[in-house]
Chain A
Amino acid sequence: MTPVTAKGDKTAQLPQLQDARNPGMLLDMDWVRAARANRSAIERRAATLPGRRSVKKEFQAAWLARAISCIDLTTLAGDDTPGRVARLCAKARHPVRADLLEALGLDGLTVGAVCVYHDMIGPALSALQGSGIPVAAVSTGFPAGLSPFRLRVAEIEESVQAGAQEIDIVISRRKVLTGDWQGLYDEMRTFRAACGEAHVKAILATGELGTLQNVARASLVCMMAGADFIKTSTGKESVNATLPVSLVMMRAIRAYHEATGYRVGYKPAGGISKAKDAVTYLSLVKEELGDRWLRPDLFRFGASSLLGDIERQLEHHVTGAYSASWRHAAG
Chain B
Amino acid sequence: MTIKEIFESMDYGPAPESAGDALAWIVDQGSRFGHFIDGAFTEPGEGFDSRNPATGEVLATLTQATPEDVDTAVAAARAAQPAWEALGGPGRARYLYALARLLQKHARLFAVLETLDNGKPIRESRDIDIPLAQRHFYYHAGMAQLMDSELPDRQALGVCGQIVPWNFPLLMLSWKIAPALATGNTVVLKPAEWTSLTALLFADICQQAGLPKGVVNIVTGDGAVGEMITGADVDKIAFTGSTEVGRKIRKATAGRGIGLTLELGGKSPYVVFEDADLDSAIEGLVDAIWFNQGQVCCAGSRLLVQEGIAEPFYDRLRARMDKLRIGNPLDKCIDVGAIVDPEQLRRIEGMVSGAEGTVYRANCPMPEGCYYPPTLISGLSPASPLMQEEIFGPVLVSSTFRTPAEAVQLANNTRYGLAASVWSENINTALDVAPQLAAGVVWVNGTNMFDAAAGFGGVRESGFGREGGWEGLRAYTRARGESASLSPVEAFAGDSAEPQPVDRTAKLYVGGKQARPDGGYARSIYDRAGKLIGQAPIANRKDIRNAVEAARGAGGWGKATAHNRAQVLYYIGENLSARSGDFAALIDRLTGGNGGAAEVEASVNRLFSAAAWADKFDGGVRSVPMRGVALAMNEPCGVIGALCADEAPLLGLVSVMAPAIAMGNRVVLVASEPFPLAALDFYQVLETSDVPGGVVNILTGSHAELAPTLAEHMDVEAVWSFSSTDLSGTIEAASAGNLKRTWVNDGRARDWLDGDDAREFLEQATEVKTVWVPYGA
Task: Evaluate contact between B127 and A51: CB separation under 8 angstroms.
Answer: yes
Q: Which residues of B sit under 8 angstroms from A309, Cβ to Cβ? A: none
Task: Evaluate contact between B4 and A39: CB separation under 8 angstroms.
Answer: no
Instruction: Determine if A55 is an interface residue (Cβ-Cβ < 8 Å).
Output: yes
Instruction: Determine if B323 is an interface residue (Cβ-Cβ < 8 Å).
Output: yes
Interface residues of A in 44-100 (CB under 8 A from B): 44-45, 48, 51-59, 61-63, 65-66
Interface residues of B in 332-371 (CB under 8 A from A): 332-333, 335
Instruction: Determine if B628 is an interface residue (Cβ-Cβ < 8 Å).
Output: yes
CA distance A229 to B775 in the complex (A): 30
Mask, B614-647, CB within 8 Å of A = 1, is 0000000000001110000000000000000000
Instruction: Determine if B275 is an interface residue (Cβ-Cβ < 8 Å).
Output: yes
Task: Evaluate contact between A40 and B13: CB separation under 8 angstroms.
Answer: no
Closest chain A residue, CB of each to CB of B331:
A54
Task: Evaluate contact between A45 and B127: CB separation under 8 angstroms.
Answer: no
Instruction: Determine if A37 is an interface residue (Cβ-Cβ < 8 Å).
Output: yes
Picked from B123, B275, B626, the residue with its CB within 8 Å of the CB of A36 is: B275
Say how far B282's CB is from chain A's closest CB, in angstroms: 10
Closest chain B residue, CB of each to CB of A216:
B277
Q: Which residues of B sit under 8 angstroms from A106, Cβ to Cβ? A: 3-4, 7
Mask, B472-507, CB within 8 Å of A = 1, is 000000000000000000000000000000000000
CA distance A12 to B281 in the complex (A): 38
Task: Evaluate contact between B446 and A54: CB separation under 8 angstroms.
Answer: no
Say how far B276's CB is from chain A's closest CB, in angstroms: 7
CA distance A67 to B210 in the complex (A): 51
Instruction: Determine if B278 is an interface residue (Cβ-Cβ < 8 Å).
Output: yes
Closest chain A residue, CB of each to CB of B281:
A41
Instruction: Determine if A313 is an interface residue (Cβ-Cβ < 8 Å).
Output: no
Closest chain A residue, CB of each to CB of B627:
A40
Number of interface residues of A (CB under 8 A): 38
Instruction: Determine if A306 is an interface residue (Cβ-Cβ < 8 Å).
Output: no
Say how far B69's CB is from chain A's closest CB, in angstroms: 40
Interface residues of B in 1-37 (CB under 8 A from A): 1-15
Interface residues of B in 740-777 (CB under 8 A from A): 774-777
CA distance A48 to B628 in the complex (A): 18
CA distance A65 to B627 in the complex (A): 37
Instruction: Determine if A286 is an interface residue (Cβ-Cβ < 8 Å).
Output: yes
CA distance A105 to B1 in the complex (A): 12
Mask, B266-295, CB within 8 Å of A = 1, is 000000000111111101100000000000
Known: A54-B15, A57-B13, A58-B13. A104 touches B3 (CB 8 A): yes
Task: Evaluate contact between B13 and A56: CB separation under 8 angstroms.
Answer: yes
Closest chain A residue, CB of each to CB of B334:
A52
CA distance A62 to B8 in the complex (A): 8
Task: Evaluate contact between A41 and B425: CB separation under 8 angstroms.
Answer: no
Task: Evaluate contact between B7 and A62: CB separation under 8 angstroms.
Answer: yes
Task: Evaluate contact between A56 and B280: CB separation under 8 angstroms.
Answer: no
Closest chain B residue, CB of each to CB of A285:
B10
Mask, A280-305, CB within 8 Å of B = 1, is 00110011000100100000000000
Instruction: Determine if A162 is an interface residue (Cβ-Cβ < 8 Å).
Output: no
Interface residues of A in 1-52 (CB under 8 A from B): 12-13, 36-45, 48, 51-52
CA distance A65 to B283 in the complex (A): 29
Q: Which residues of A sit under 8 angstroms from B283, Cβ to Cβ? A: 41, 45
Task: Evaluate contact between A65 and B332: CB separation under 8 angstroms.
Answer: no
CA distance A283 to B13 in the complex (A): 12
Instruction: Determine if A211 is an interface residue (Cβ-Cβ < 8 Å).
Output: yes
Q: Which residues of A sit under 8 angstroms from B775, Cβ to Cβ? A: 39-40
Mask, B413-433, CB within 8 Å of A = 1, is 000000000000100000000
Q: Which residues of A sit under 8 angstroms from B198, Cβ to Cβ? A: none
Instruction: Determine if A251 is an interface residue (Cβ-Cβ < 8 Å).
Output: yes
Picked from A52, A291, A294, the residue with its CB within 8 Å of the CB of B123 is: A52
Mask, A180-211, CB within 8 Å of B = 1, is 00000000000000000000000000000001
**Most chain A Cβ neighbours within 10 Å, of B7, B332, B628:** B7
Q: Which residues of B sit under 8 angstroms from A37, Cβ to Cβ? A: 277, 280
Binding site secondary structure of chain A: helix
CA distance A291 to B445 in the complex (A): 29
CA distance A56 to B6 in the complex (A): 12
CA distance A51 to B15 in the complex (A): 12
Q: Which residues of B sit under 8 angstroms from A42, Cβ to Cβ? A: 277, 280
CA distance A211 to B323 in the complex (A): 28
Known: A36-B276, A45-B280. A105 touches B3 (CB 8 A): yes
Task: Evaluate contact between A59 and B11: CB separation under 8 angstroms.
Answer: yes
Say how far A67's CB is from chain B's closest CB, in angstroms: 10
CA distance A65 to B6 in the complex (A): 10
Closest chain B residue, CB of each to CB of A38:
B277
Task: Evaluate contact between B774 and A59: CB separation under 8 angstroms.
Answer: no
Closest chain A residue, CB of each to CB of B776:
A39
Q: Which residues of B sit under 8 angstroms from A283, Cβ to Cβ? A: 12
Q: Which residues of A sit under 8 angstroms from B281, Cβ to Cβ? A: 41
Mask, A251-263, CB within 8 Å of B = 1, is 1000000000000
Say how far B737's CB is from chain A's closest CB, in angstroms: 39
Task: Evaluate contact between B1 and A58: CB separation under 8 angstroms.
Answer: yes
Task: Evaluate contact between B8 and A12: CB separation under 8 angstroms.
Answer: yes
Mask, A94-118, CB within 8 Å of B = 1, is 0000000000111000000000000
Task: Evaluate contact between B333 and A52: CB separation under 8 angstroms.
Answer: yes
Known: A40-B628, A287-B323. A211 touches B777 (CB 8 A): yes
Task: Evaluate contact between B6 and A62: CB separation under 8 angstroms.
Answer: yes
Q: Which residues of B sit under 8 angstroms from A48, Cβ to Cβ? A: 127
Say how far B752's CB is from chain A's closest CB, in angstroms: 49
Task: Evaluate contact between A55 and B323: CB separation under 8 angstroms.
Answer: no
Known: A40-B774, A45-B283. A286 touches B14 (CB 8 A): no
CA distance A63 to B333 in the complex (A): 15
Closest chain A residue, CB of each to CB of B12:
A55
CA distance A40 to B777 in the complex (A): 9
Known: A36-B276, A36-B425, A38-B445. A59 touches B12 (CB 8 A): yes
Q: Which residues of B sit under 8 angstroms from A40, Cβ to Cβ? A: 445-446, 626-628, 774-776
Say how far B627's CB is from chain A's closest CB, in angstroms: 7
Q: Which residues of A sit under 8 angstroms from B12, Cβ to Cβ? A: 53-55, 59, 283
Closest chain A residue, CB of each to CB of B333:
A54
Say how far A57's CB is from chain B's closest CB, in angstroms: 7
Task: Evaluate contact between A13 and B628: CB separation under 8 angstroms.
Answer: no
Q: Which residues of A sit under 8 angstroms from B123, Cβ to Cβ? A: 51-52
Q: Which residues of A sit under 8 angstroms from B333, Cβ to Cβ? A: 52-55
Task: Evaluate contact between A41 and B280: CB separation under 8 angstroms.
Answer: yes
CA distance A105 to B123 in the complex (A): 32
CA distance A66 to B6 in the complex (A): 9
Task: Evaluate contact between A44 and B446: CB separation under 8 angstroms.
Answer: yes
Interface residues of A in 111-140 (CB under 8 A from B): none
Q: Which residues of B sit under 8 angstroms from A286, Cβ to Cβ? A: 10
Mask, B120-133, CB within 8 Å of A = 1, is 00010011000000
Q: Which residues of B sit under 8 angstroms from A105, Cβ to Cβ? A: 2-4
Q: Which residues of B sit under 8 angstroms from A43, Cβ to Cβ? A: 776
Task: Evaluate contact between B446 and A41: CB separation under 8 angstroms.
Answer: yes
Say how far B674's CB is from chain A's closest CB, in angstroms: 59
CA distance A251 to B282 in the complex (A): 12
Closest chain A residue, CB of each to CB of B16:
A56
CA distance A286 to B628 in the complex (A): 30
Task: Evaluate contact between A36 and B3: CB separation under 8 angstroms.
Answer: no
Q: Which residues of A sit under 8 angstroms from B278, Cβ to Cβ? A: 36
4 tightest CB-CB pairs across the interface, nearest first? A39-B776, A59-B13, A62-B6, A41-B280
Can you list 16 A-B pairs with a CB-CB distance of less than 8 A? A36-B278, A38-B776, A41-B277, A51-B123, A51-B126, A55-B13, A56-B13, A56-B14, A57-B13, A62-B3, A62-B5, A62-B7, A65-B3, A104-B3, A106-B4, A291-B10
Residues of B within 8 A of A (CB): 1-15, 123, 126-127, 275-281, 283-284, 323, 332-333, 335, 425, 445-446, 626-628, 774-777
Known pairs A39-B776, A42-B277, A58-B1 / 19 extra A-B pairs, C-beta < 8 Å: A36-B276, A36-B277, A37-B277, A39-B777, A40-B626, A40-B628, A40-B776, A42-B280, A51-B123, A51-B126, A51-B332, A55-B12, A55-B333, A59-B15, A62-B4, A62-B5, A104-B4, A105-B4, A251-B279
